[in-house]
Amino acid sequence: MILSLALLLLAAAFAYAWVRERGRRRAAEIRHKAELADWERRGTAEFAEQAQRSAALFDRMVEGMIVTNAAGRIQLANRAAQSFFSFDGGAIGRTLLEATRRHEIAAVAERLESETEVLGHELRLEGADQPRFLQVNALALRDAGGGRDGALFVFHDVTRLRQLEAMREEFVANVSHELRTPLSLIKSAAETMLDSGHDDPAMRLRFLEIIDRHANRLARLIDDLLFLSTLDSGRLRLESQPLALCRVAQEVIEDFQIRAVARGVKLVNGVAEDLIVQADPDRLRQVLGNLVDNAIKYGRDGGRVAVDGAIRADGRVEVIVRDDGPGLPAEAQPRIFERFYRVDKARSREQGGTGLGLAIVKHVVQAHGGEVRVESAPGAGTTFFFTLSAALTPADAPARSPAGP
Ligand code: ADP
């Protein structure tokens, strides 16, 4: 009896220990599962967040990007690529040719089959008003075992670069032409003199005048080109200071008086004496000089050229050069500040123009932080406006506080 009681107690103790251990294990198992689930949840959320960040990053890239899979179908195309080729998110799963409708891209993809290097190609896309140029760089992607695993295409918009190159080429062609014209006139005058003109003093004088005029034009052209190159490179140093606009206008008017009188043009200084601007004196004279010179050259014989100034509502000073000449055709007005643009080439050359005067005006005014514009109508004269900062004269300056430095 005692033995069976002891056995019973032992079995009960054993059963109790077994149940406790099972409970403990079960609790540990539940805890472990919960931890695993938590990890998984956090991992998925992190992964989703990472994927979202990458997608946002790709979409913010200015370069277009397309990734294809091993079957040549689009897996990923960012927003820039979508806008270059005008396809929407529906491009996923399509081939490059279907999505971009560009055979060259499909051909690059084909070449990638046998290439290990990055392949480059330039695409020209016809736009509504002007072509767009895209540099394509393509690279075959490999999986961990070295097998082909699709390709990556990056599209870089090089339109601005191509436009600048075209502008540079046009500029060089223009410069060569502009240099060659006076040079060939100098050369033919010298040759004529050498051949036949040396005996006749009147003829010799005529040819020497031609040589002198065109040599001067050549020198002006070279000066203007060198000055523009200083402006382009940002090497121009402005010595800005408060200047009485009326006085600078008067100096310019006096410089051009002889030329104006020769054409019967009246030069008028209408600038108020108390108008003070902040500018570099030599450069302001240069800008006003170019505008007054043009107004005399392209205005009318016996006409009137006026320089004026006014304070605008925003506190800046507007300088105005107005003539009563034949004016500018509407289509010429947006182009008038371009290098070598002239309405009448022959007239400009005959007047000794370089075709760079207004380009210099625009750059110098911009270097002062101002803007330049033109208003004109055929038969109603031409008016150039440019803005400068008004300078604080000692009388305008705010009184210094006694505690101030
Ligand atoms: P240019 O050396 O030919 O004078 P500019 O750059 O100074 O070169 O001027 C460009 C062109 O703008 C001139 O050739 C002329 O056709 C036109 N132009 C400039 N100023 C005037 C004006 N006041 N009236 C009419 N046309 C003008």
Average pLDDT of the residues in 357-363: 97
pLDDT band (50, 70, 90) for residue 158: very high
Q: What is the whole-number distance in angstroms between the Cα of residue 8 and the centre of ligand 1? A: 121
How many other CB atoms are found less than 10 A from the CB of residue 71?
9
pLDDT band (50, 70, 90) for residue 29: confident
β-strand pairing of 276-279 with 382-390: antiparallel
Residue with tokens 């600078």: 248
| C-alpha–C-alpha distance, residues 228 and 337, integer Å | 13
Q: What is the whole-number distance in angstroms between the Cα of residue 348 and the centre of ligand 1? A: 7
- Render pLDDT for 123-138 as a digit per residue (tens, 0 to 9): 998 877 888 999 999 9
| C-alpha–C-alpha distance, residues 43 and 40, integer Å | 5
Q: For residue 321, give the nearest of 384, 259, 270 by alpha carbon.
A: 384
**What single letter denotes the amino acid at residue 192?**
T
Pocket of ligand 1 (CB under 6 A): 290, 294-295, 298, 323, 325, 328, 336, 341-344, 348, 353-359, 382
- Does residue 9 surpass a pLDDT of 70? no
pTM of the full structure? 0.72
| C-alpha–C-alpha distance, residues 132 and 157, integer Å | 8
Q: Which phi-psi region, left, alpha or beta, contains residue 379 (left: φ > 0; alpha: ψ -120 to 50)?
A: left
Q: For residue 270, give the nearest of 318, 307, 323 by alpha carbon.
A: 307
pLDDT band (50, 70, 90) for residue 44: confident
8 A C-beta contact, residue 389 and residue 239: no
β-strand pairing of 266-269 with 304-311: parallel
Task: Give the pLDDT of residue 144.
Answer: 81
Task: Give the pLDDT of residue 375.
Answer: 97
Task: Give the pLDDT of residue 201.
Answer: 84
pLDDT band (50, 70, 90) for residue 16: low
Counting ligand 1 atoms within 8 A of each CB, the residue from 181, 256, 358, 386 with the most, and so the one to mutate, is 358
8 A C-beta contact, residue 151 and residue 112: yes
pLDDT band (50, 70, 90) for residue 402: very low
| C-alpha–C-alpha distance, residues 183 and 245, integer Å | 39
Instruction: Kindly state the DSSP code that residue 323 receives in the 8-state scheme.
Output: E
For residue 281, give both structure tokens.
């004196």
8 A C-beta contact, residue 109 and residue 94: no
| C-alpha–C-alpha distance, residues 91 and 74, integer Å | 7
Task: Give the pLDDT of residue 194.
Answer: 86
- Render pLDDT for 241-273 as a digit per residue (tens, 0 to 9): 999 999 999 999 999 999 999 999 999 999 999
Share of the chain above pLDDT 70, in %: 91
- Looking from the CA of residue 354, the nearest atom of ligand 1 is 2
pLDDT band (50, 70, 90) for residue 350: confident
Q: What is the whole-number distance in angstroms between the Cα of residue 298 and the centre of ligand 1? A: 7
The Cα angle at residue 317 between residues 315 and 323, in degrees rounded to 5:
145
| C-alpha–C-alpha distance, residues 372 and 299, integer Å | 19
Task: Give the pLDDT of residue 18.
Answer: 64
What's the residue count for the chain? 405
- Does residue 348 surpass a pLDDT of 80? yes
Q: What is the whole-number distance in angstroms between the Cα of residue 360 and the centre of ligand 1? A: 12
Q: What is the whole-number distance in angstroms between the Cα of residue 72 and the centre of ligand 1? A: 58
Backbone angles phi, psi at 401, to 5 degrees: -70, 145
Share of the chain above pLDDT 90, in %: 61
- Render pLDDT for 268-301 as a digit per residue (tens, 0 to 9): 999 999 999 999 999 999 999 999 999 999 999 9
Backbone angles phi, psi at 369, to 5 degrees: 85, 15
8 A C-beta contact, residue 359 and residue 343: no
For residue 359, give both structure tokens.
């380009």
Task: Give the pLDDT of residue 393.
Answer: 63
Position with higher pLDDT, 113 vs 245 = 245
Instruction: Give me the torsion for CA of 231, 232, 233, 235, rounded to 10°.
Output: 10
Task: Give the pLDDT of residue 172.
Answer: 93
